[in-house]
Structure 1
């Protein structure tokens, strides 16, 4: 059975490009553009891993991440945060994510991070 990834980003291009990379690697991927639809998708889709953008319009992905890590039903799901912020800005973040990586990443780095988190 393929591992399931729930991916939320308000940028359709990022959803398409990163989603395609993950699907081509054999993962089942559900893409969501709206924070309002996200919580219902977690319960319906039951992902093995979640990828969230940090800046989601008027919503902060870090807040969503931290809430997921405090919720019993979702606290053990690995979360990767994506961001266009600089490495310096990323290092100052307080977030319970399992990994934070820049959006300028190459697909090999994304796949390596996803693979590492899904092994556990």
Structure 2
């Protein structure tokens, strides 16, 4: 059975492109655009890993991440935060994510990070 990844981003192009890359790599990926859908999708899909954008239109991905890390059902689920922020800005973040990586067209880092977190 393929590992399941739940991906939340309010940018449809990011969902499409990164979702396609992860699907092509053999993961079962479910993409959502709204933070309001996250709880029901976590319950229904039971992801092995969650990817969140930091800057969402109506929510802060860091806050969502920290809430997931406190919840009984998701405290052990690895979380990868995606961001277009600079490395300096990322280093100042207070977030319980297992990894924070920059958004770019280069997907190698995303696949390496996801693969490492799902094999640990």
TM-score bracket for this pair, using the shorter chain length = over 0.9
Count of equivalent residues: 120
The CA distance in 1 between the partners of 2:58 and 2:35, in whole Å, is 9
SS in 2 for 1:21: helix
| Structure 1 consecutive aligned stretches of length 4 or more whose deviation exceeds 4 Å | none
In the alignment, is residue 43 of structure 1 matched against residue 43 of structure 2?
yes
The CA distance in 2 between the partners of 1:67 and 1:20, in whole Å, is 27
Q: 2:88 maps to what in 1?
A: 88
Q: How far is 1:105 from its partner?
A: 5.5
For structure 2, which runs of at least 5 residues remain unmatched after alignment? none
The CA distance in 2 between the partners of 1:84 and 1:68, in whole Å, is 22
The CA distance in 1 between the partners of 2:106 and 2:100, in whole Å, is 14
Q: How far is 1:118 from its partner?
A: 0.1
Distance of aligned partners of 1:105 and 1:96 in 2 relative to their CA distance in 1, 3 Å threshold = farther
TM-score by length of structure 1 reads 0.98
Aligned counterparts, 1:1-120, within 5 A: 1-104=1-104, 106-120=106-120
SS in 1 for 2:50: strand
TM-score by length of structure 2 reads 0.98
Q: How far is 1:106 from its partner?
A: 1.3
The CA distance in 1 between the partners of 2:65 and 2:49, in whole Å, is 12
**Aligned residues: CA RMSD:** 0.7
